[in-house]
Amino acid sequence: MNRQTKRLMAKQQGARERTPAPAKRPVQQERKKRVPPRQFLKEVRQELKKVNWPTRTELLAYFVVVLVSVVVLTSYVFGLDFLFSKAVLKVFGT
């Protein structure tokens, strides 16, 4: 341990000794009441109205980006898999 760690540990130990232990008290947690399904759905609709939905052109642009990314990454993984399988078969031969 270095000096800095020892100093930090001593400071923490001193702080623990100075602070009195909290008094134990019984834990009483109030259970939250469940809301009826109708109110829940009403609140969900209200929250969904606050969402900033993308426009049709933005949605199309995001779709194209995701589609191209998936195709490129899938092709990359396929190529690596193909090359490694050929290399393993060449090394161990069948």
Average pLDDT on 73-85 reads 97
pLDDT at 51: 94
Contacts of 1 (CB under 8 A, 6+ apart): 9
Rg (Cα) of the chain, in Å, rounded?
Answer: 30
78: pLDDT strictly greater than 90: yes
Rounded CA gap, 72 and 70, in Å?
6
Contact 1, 8 (CB under 8 A): no
24: pLDDT strictly greater than 80: no
pLDDT at 77: 98
Distance of CA 31 to the CA centre of its chain: 28
DSSP string over 53-77: PPPHHHHHHHHHHHHHHHHHHHHHH
Q: What is the mean pLDDT of the chain?
A: 88
pTM score of the predicted model = 0.50
**CB contact burial 37-67 (16+ within 10 A = b; e otherwise):** eeeeeeeeeeeeeeeeeeeeeeeeeeeeeee
Average pLDDT on 42-56 reads 95
* Percent of the chain clearing pLDDT 70 (strictly above): 90
Average pLDDT on 14-39 reads 77
